Amino acid sequence: MPSFDRTTMHATAAHPATSAATTPATSSAASPGVDPSTPSSADTDTFRALIRSLPAGFQWGSATSAAQIEGAAREDGKGESIWDRFCARPGAIKDGSDIDVACDHYRRYPQDVKLMQWLGLDAYRFSFAWPRVQPLGRGAWNEAGFAFYDRLIDTLLEAGIQPNATLYHWDLPQALDESIGGLLSREVVPLFADYAAEIARRFGDRLATIATLNEPWCSATLGYETAQFAPGHRNRAEATQVSHHLLMMHGAAIQAMRAVGGQARLGIVLNHTPSFPADPLSEADRRAARIDDGTNVRWYMDPVFRGQYPADIVEYLGADAPLIEVGDLALIQQPLDFLGVNFYTRSVLDGRQAMVKPPGELGFTDMGWEIYPQALTQHLLRISREYTPPPIVITENGMANADRVVDGRVADPARIAYLRGHLEAVAQAVALGADVRGYFYWSLLDNFEWNSGYEKRFGLFHVDYATQQRLAKDSAHWYRDMIAAFKAPR
Ligand code: FCB
């Protein structure tokens, strides 16, 4: 994400209805809004050849997270999360919405799995809501919550889709915020490890992968420094302390899950927004880009893969650097089976450490994020060279677009161009030696885009929040055709 402003464009769309609806989601796996005439003609032979050059077994997926799609916020014993609480804070969410219903995926997951099957997905990335399975974040487990994930995972497996889970995609049990101070307290570390071990015990043999955290930078910086995300604090020293606790949670969870055993491959998902100087000839701009890279990429990659924080950033943070105890860094540096990279855009900085509007030759998304796929190729090659990481998976990539349904169709050529450009960038990185094993489009469905509410649409499927109807956008057709072409006999 661009460092200090996740949404650089202000939302303008109308307040979406979020009430539960009885209209069923599109039910046929064969035709969720299929218009057979939808063209994929934007593809050149070169593009198709490049995609087909990806290794056999390359995984095609799509991603979501619990708080953004499940709804059923207070059902079957689910505990409150910090996002349930944050939504109630006046002004916190741009359209004043909440996550009580979201995409009603808690009830509609069978139809949603059918949409994945129609796309031809190999894999689906979702997250467990910790407060659904352990309402207070410690103590009693909620069997009804586990039963939901049990059904979801079995439905995916029956559909031939590999379940890829994340343990923490930002929805901390609110009770932990109140009882121990949430992520500000070291006490959260063993509690998270207990939760991780329980998930591994129950699901470790059916999950393909388990990622500990999604984008700890966002949890720490947007949650504790800029107040854009739950729990909405504004204090840099708190943010860096939280980042350290998150990294410890990651290490402790990996240890705990390894002790349980199971077949799932274990890793972490980091958001990488490569930093560029506004003027490459300006030393001040280059320094700003280096610091931005340090706080966003190296602050997480260095401890996870090298067991140390970057010295220049510790110095830059000064008195706001976190308190670290003996053994913490050894805990953080665990052997991993994969690295998840979420990539959306790049940041361009000037010498005052401020983000400047980049040229945007390929345009900007509805979030105001520049479309700049070439940074993905460069970045994958750079991290491969500098860190020798385990196999990489692109665990998120996608764009918000001001989609409209017109005559039963969503024409989103901009999203097709985005997808195409980024797949090309991934394939080029692979051709140049990066070990990338899969790609997950963000997101399967339009959903709750955090502090932007429902106004930003990232989905391959359009969601009508008044009826909960799902409709395949043109980009869904394109992705489906691309996956089919990849898998066609050669
Ligand atoms: C990422 C988040 C994901 C979604 C996308 C647009 O930072 O992991 O939940 O909000 O951005």
Active-site residues: which are they? 215, 396
Burial class (CB within 10 angstroms; exposed 0-12, middle 13-18, buried 19+) of 370: buried
What residues does 439 pair with on adjacent strands? 60, 394
Kindly state if the Cβ of 448 falls inside 6 Å of ligand 1: no
Q: Does the structure show a pLDDT above 80 at 24?
A: no
Question: Of the segments 12-21, 34-43, 110-119, which one has the largest average pLDDT value?
Answer: 110-119
pLDDT of residue 19: 28
Return mean pLDDT, the chain.
92
Residue 17 scores a pLDDT above 90: no
Span 293-345, pLDDT tens digits? 999 999 999 999 999 999 999 999 999 999 999 999 999 999 999 999 999 99
Token reading at 124: 């689906």
Q: How confident is the model at residue 21, as a pLDDT? A: 29
Ligand 1 in reach of 219 Cβ (< 6 A): no
Instruction: Decide if 100 contacts 448 (C-beta within 8 A).
Output: no
Q: Quick one: what percent of the chain has pLDDT higher than 90?
A: 89
> How far, in Å, CA of 304 to CA of 383, rounded?
13
Best of 396, 415, 441 for a ligand 1 pocket test (most atoms within 8 Å of beta carbon): 396
State which ligand 1 atom lies nearest to the alpha carbon of 215.
Answer: 8
pLDDT at 34 over 70: no
Which band of pLDDT confidence, cut at 50, 70 and 90, is reported for residue 6?
A: low
Rounded CA gap, 6 and 304, in Å? 24
- Residue of the nearest CA to atom 4 in ligand 1? 449
**pLDDT for the residue numbered 37:** 40
- pLDDT for 69-88, tens place per residue? 999 999 999 999 999 999 99
Our answer on whether the CB atom of 65 is closer than 6 Å to any ligand 1 atom is yes
> What would the mean pLDDT of 365-386 be, rounded to a whole number?
98
Residue 11 pLDDT level (bands cut at 50, 70, 90): very low
Q: Is the CB of 273 under 6 A from ligand 1?
A: no
pLDDT tens across 208-233, in order? Answer: 999 999 999 999 999 999 999 999 99
Predicted structure pTM score = 0.93
Whether ligand 1 lies within 6 angstroms of the CB of 215 is answered as yes
Q: 168: which strand partners?
A: 213
**Does position 61 have pLDDT exceeding 80, yes or no?**
yes
Between 4 and 294, residue with greater pLDDT? 294
Which candidate, 154, 43, 127, places its Cα nearest to that of 396?
A: 127
Beta bridge mates, 392: 339, 436
Average pLDDT over residues 345-365: 96
Q: What percent of the chain has pLDDT over 70?
A: 91
Looking at ligand 1, which atom is closest to the CA of residue 269?
Answer: 8
pLDDT at 7: 58
Beta bridge partners of 268: 339
Ligand 1 contact via 441 beta carbon (within 6 Å): no
3-state secondary structure 71-99: CCCCCCCCCCEHHHHHHCCCCCCCCCCCC
Mutate to test the pocket of ligand 1, among 442, 454, 456 (most ligand atoms within 8 A of CB): 442
Nearest residue (by CA) to ligand 1, atom 9, is: 65
More confident residue, 115 or 30: 115
Among 450, 454, 455, residue to substitute to test ligand 1 (most atoms within 8 Å of Cβ): 450
| Average of per-residue pLDDT across 53-75 | 97
How many Å lie between the centroid of ligand 1 and the Cα of residue 259?
30
Q: Is a pLDDT exceeding 50 seen at residue 375?
A: yes
Predicted confidence (pLDDT) at residue 393 exceeds the cutoff of 70: yes
Residue 32 has pLDDT above 60, yes or no: no
Q: Report the C-alpha gap between 451 and 1 in whole angstroms.
A: 14
Q: What is the pLDDT of residue 490?
A: 81
| 29 — pLDDT class (breaks 50, 70, 90) | very low
The verdict on the CB of residue 440 being under 6 Å from ligand 1 is: no
Nearest CA to ligand 1 atom 5: 442
- Per-residue pLDDT, 33: 42
Residue 5: the pLDDT is 57
Distance 442 CA to ligand 1 centre (A): 8
Rounded to an integer, what distance in angstroms lies between the CA atom of residue 6 and that of residue 450? 10
Residues 6 or more apart whose Cβ sits within 8 Å of residue 165: 125, 126, 127, 128, 199, 203, 207, 209, 210, 211, 264
Q: How large is the angle between the packed helices 236-260 and 188-203, nearest 10 degrees?
A: 40
pLDDT of 42 strictly over 50? yes
Question: What pLDDT score does 43 carry?
Answer: 76
Lowest mean pLDDT among 14-18, 142-146, 406-410: 14-18
Query: How buried is 320 (Cβ within 10 angstroms: 0-12 exposed, 13-18 middle, 19+ buried)?
Result: middle
